[in-house]
């Protein structure tokens, strides 16, 4: 039998776990790609009041409301980006050494049951904020003299994209007429990342076993390949970001053969304010130039901090001007028709980006998708298809590969179109082209067919132009008089090319 003094010493050496919720709790959910979605609840209980933080992927919530204790509790966490508030709620209880709880990631989402275990203090805390560089102008990389054209995985596949799908998209683009029409980028969005190796190099998860081999395959089709990251510690989906590893990641992308980087603000907002955005994007702009490979740089930060005024100065070839698009008429038109005042900042090599195309994803009809394609082309916007290229209908392929409309988008002068007239649900937009012609869009945003009239003097012409081409009907028009009227279907467009 051990002496009493020895027993007391052994008891004192055992960590004392408080009989409340105080502690750093971790939930690790295994994902099909071999990575984990990790949530941390760093809690402090004082009587019936619980404070602390909740970290879910790139979201970092402060607990603002709470009730109860170990036998039953509720927690509400809040975060705000200065304009919008996002909340998360947990309800549960302490069961032995485990925290059993239920949560909804969105108010309309299904209830998720989680089990949390104690983690070491400090694990999961946000990293130390790194100092920002002095502002300077990043040299122009000389890329994207016309708006980039290609495909991006997010709108259709989100986190379900994998190596096989990317190869099949490249096969489709190379053979279905899209490559011949000018599409060239096959872009992988979020969820390809795993973590970092012992040397800090970014690694891929099991969905993408060999990124270099995948890039080689896409290149073998005469196409280019793009990838995705974030200036923050985490991406939007909670995967590994480039924070503190910008030069290392740029070198890795170059070694893999990457041609395009979409760089998404999400995870950086917990460390930096919007007014510091330019400096953080500058870090990656410099890193890409040092990488030794031409890599198109696409900024994705939702039009915050008036990015169009500084996007080119951080090396950006394109910059998002809006929030995420959805495959609905309201989303597409609210975004597309809001771009008029940004026209002065679009120039060859540097483009306003109202987000990717939803054409073919099923949420709109043919007239609405033609409006989508026409408006993005008049806006000199990137044309990044977001549908499944392997099985689209001939009608959708025809919209995406309309060479006459694409020629407007790819005009070498790179002048973004403007709204020249608006009354009710009817709008007329015009874009000057390099040969002196004008591209015109007669848009009917209303729900019934209507007649839209354009006056030639409104587009700088004294009389009817000598040559007018209907770019969707693929026919020439013979016109005279001071104006032109066309019947435009509900939510539709008539798109013209008018030359003096």
Dihedral, CA of residue 389, residue 394, residue 396 and residue 397, to nearest 10: 60
| pTM of the predicted protein model | 0.92
CA–CA distance from 139 to each of 112, 146, 252, 318, 345 (Å)?
Answer: 48, 18, 21, 15, 17
Residue-by-residue pLDDT tens, the chain, 500 positions: 444 343 333 333 334 444 689 999 999 989 999 998 899 999 999 988 999 999 988 888 999 999 999 999 999 999 887 678 889 999 999 999 999 999 987 777 788 999 999 999 999 888 999 999 999 999 999 999 999 999 999 999 999 999 999 999 999 999 999 999 999 999 999 999 999 999 999 999 999 999 999 999 999 999 999 999 999 999 999 999 999 999 999 999 999 999 999 999 998 988 999 999 999 999 999 999 999 999 999 999 999 999 999 999 999 999 999 999 999 999 999 999 999 999 999 999 999 999 999 999 999 999 999 999 999 999 999 999 999 999 999 999 999 999 999 999 999 999 999 999 999 999 999 999 999 999 999 999 999 999 999 999 988 888 899 899 999 999 999 988 899 999 999 999 999 999 98
Give the per-residue pLDDT at 19: 63
Which own/partner pairs from 132-139 qualify as long-range (CB within 8 Å, at least 24 positions apart)?
A: 132/272, 132/276, 132/279, 132/280, 132/283, 133/279, 133/282, 133/283, 135/278, 135/279, 135/282, 136/282, 137/313, 138/282, 138/285, 138/286, 138/289, 138/313, 138/314, 138/315, 139/289, 139/315
Q: Which two tokens stand for residue 429?
A: 């937009």
* Burial of 80 (C-beta count, 10 Å sphere; 0-12/13-18/19+): exposed
Annotated catalytic residues are: 264, 324
Say what the pLDDT of residue 74 is: 94
- Give the pLDDT score at 172: 98
Beta-carbon contacts of 343 under 8 Å, excluding residues fewer than 6 positions away, are 352, 415, 416, 417, 418
End-to-end, the C-alpha distance of the chain in Å comes to 107
Spell out the domains of the chain, with CATH numbers in brackets.
Answer: 18-119 (2.40.128), 149-416 (3.20.20.70), 419-499 (2.60.40.1180)
* Angstrom distance (rounded) from CA 242 to CA 284: 9
């Amino acid at each position: 039998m051990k002496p009493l003094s020895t027993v007391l010493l052994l008891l004192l050496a055992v960590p004392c776990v408080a009989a409340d919720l105080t502690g750093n709790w971790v939930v690790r959910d295994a994902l099909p790609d071999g990575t984990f979605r990790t949530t941390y609840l760093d809690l402090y209980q004082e009587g019936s009041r619980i404070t602390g933080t909740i970290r879910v992927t790139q979201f970092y919530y402060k607990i603002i409301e709470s009730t109860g204790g170990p036998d039953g509790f509720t927690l509400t966490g809040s975060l705000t980006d200065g304009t919008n508030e996002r909340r998360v709620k947990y309800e549960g209880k302490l069961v032995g050494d485990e925290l059993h709880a239920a949560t909804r990631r969105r108010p309309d989402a299904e209830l998720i049951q989680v089990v949390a275990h104690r983690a070491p203090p400090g694990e999961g805390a946000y990293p130390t904020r790194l100092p920002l560089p002095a502002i300077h102008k990043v040299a122009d990389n000389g890329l994207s003299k016309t708006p980039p054209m290609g495909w991006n995985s997010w709108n259709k596949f989100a986190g379900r994209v994998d190596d096989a799908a990317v190869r099949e998209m490249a096969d489709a683009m190379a053979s279905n007429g899209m490559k011949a029409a000018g599409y060239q980028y096959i872009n992988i969005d979020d969820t390809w990342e795993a973590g970092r190796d012992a040397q800090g190099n970014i690694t891929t998860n099991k969905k993408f076993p060999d990124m270099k081999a995948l890039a080689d395959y896409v290149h073998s089709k005469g196409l280019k390949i793009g990838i995705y990251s974030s200036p923050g510690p985490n991406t939007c989906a909670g995967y590994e970001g480039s924070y503190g590893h910008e030069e290392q990641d740029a070198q890795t992308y170059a070694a893999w053969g990457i041609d395009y980087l979409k760089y998404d603000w999400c995870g950086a907002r917990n460390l930096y304010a919007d007014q510091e955005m330019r400096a953080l994007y500058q870090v990656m702009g410099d890193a890409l130039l040092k990488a030794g490979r031409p890599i198109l740089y696409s900024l994705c930060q939702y039009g915050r901090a008036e990015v169009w005024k500084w996007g080119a100065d951080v090396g950006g070839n394109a910059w998002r001007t809006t929030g995420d698009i959805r495959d609905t008429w309201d989303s597409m038109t609210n975004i597309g028709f809001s771009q008029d005042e940004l026209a002065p900042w679009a120039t060859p090599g540097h483009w306003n980006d109202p987000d990717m195309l939803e054409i073919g994803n099923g949420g709109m009809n043919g007239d609405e998708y033609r409006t989508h394609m026409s408006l993005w082309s008049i806006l000199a916007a990137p044309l990044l298809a977001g549908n499944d290229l392997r099985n689209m209908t001939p009608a959708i392929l025809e919209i995406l590969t309309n060479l006459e409309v694409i020629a407007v988008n790819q005009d070498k002068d790179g002048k973004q179109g403007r709204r020249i007239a608006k009354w009710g649900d009817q709008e007329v937009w015009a874009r000057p082209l390099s040969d002196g012609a004008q591209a015109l869009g007669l848009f009917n945003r209303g729900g019934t067919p209507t007649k839209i009239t354009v006056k030639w003097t409104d587009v700088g012409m004294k009389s009817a132009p000598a040559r007018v081409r209907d770019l969707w009907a693929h026919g020439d028009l013979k016109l005279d008089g001071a104006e032109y009227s066309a019947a435009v279907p509900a939510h539709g467009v008539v798109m013209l090319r008018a030359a003096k």
